[in-house]
Amino acid sequence: MRLIRKLFKLKNELFRNIFFEKRIKKTLDHKYTIYFDKKNNSEISKLASLYRTNKGYILDKNNTEGIDIKNCYSYSDFYSDIFSLSKNHVKKVFELGIGSVDTQQIDNMLPIGKKYKSGGSLRMWKDYFKNANIYGADIDKKCLFEEERIKTFYVDQGKKDSIFDMWKEIGETDFDIIIDDGCHRFEETITFFESSIDKISNNGIYIIEDILASQRKPFLQYFKKSNFNYKFINFYRPDISHSNNSLLMITK
């Protein structure tokens, strides 16, 4: 029975990959492929491990301080590449999604691991971007906090009025980096994007993480019709397959 389940899973992954390639080619007709040998000297991966965030992992640990690395994504390797040269010049970073551990919240992070702690990504960015102020927001008010160079705010990302009130309270513009690690649903994600893209600087980067396989088509169709420069990045882990180990990177 276990073998049959494994074969069935492999079959589903094979068909998903085939249809994924066909769907992508209908929308995006250019691509480049990067292969790399994962090393353990990535600063962001080390910080992801230290602060128990699933944005990355290091290979020589079976778990990331209490979080099973099978639940972690490959973003830290990519972020190391695109942020390393500018890390000392970044002044403002915002991330949507602090990481609720409330069982009453639909999009809580408890499946990641029992030792998961809210705010890990924000602390990771604070340590990495040593000259930046870090801002975060979440719908769960219980996970809001404030530390040196970190401030967090309430927001319901599906409601324009709530997003407007959040940005008014933050009182900042010209962000170098905005990362959406919120609910990951298309409608709410686009509502937040349309209400927030004007907050990044002309050279800033807007990133939407965890593009679910079922959500790729509407996301790609939306940005295909837009005037923004965008790239869809899909990551591959040899040890485990994540259907949402992918992101969108948008620039003005």
Q: pLDDT tens digit string along 178-198?
A: 999 999 999 999 999 999 999
What is the spatial distance between Cα 115 and Cα 64, in angstroms, rounded to a whole number?
A: 10
| Tally of domains within the chain | 1
Mean pLDDT for the stretch of residues 123-146:
96
What is the spatial distance between Cα 137 and Cα 182, in angstroms, rounded to a whole number?
A: 9
Under a CB-based contact definition with an 8 Å cutoff, are residues 103 and 110 in contact?
yes
Mean pLDDT for the stretch of residues 128-148:
96
Mean pLDDT for the stretch of residues 147-173:
98
Tell if the pTM clears 0.85, that is, is over it: yes
Q: Which are the contacts of 137, defined by CB distance < 8 A and separation ≥ 6?
A: 94, 95, 96, 97, 98, 152, 153, 154, 155, 157, 166
Q: Which has more pLDDT, 238 or 208?
A: 208
For residue range 214-248, what is the model confidence (pLDDT) as tens digits? 888 899 999 999 999 999 999 988 888 787 899 99
Q: Which of 216, 144, 208, 152 is nearest to 181 (CA)?
A: 208
pLDDT above 70 covers a percentage of the chain that reads 82
Question: Residue 24 has what pLDDT?
Answer: 73
In this structure, the strands spanning 200-209 and 175-180 are: parallel
> What's the domain range around 214?
2-251
Q: Which are the contacts of 242, defined by CB distance < 8 A and separation ≥ 6?
A: 73, 235
Tokens representing residue 130 in the block = 């040593």
Strand partners, 233: 247
* Domain containing residue 147: CATH number: 3.40.50.150
Mean pLDDT over the full length of the chain: 87
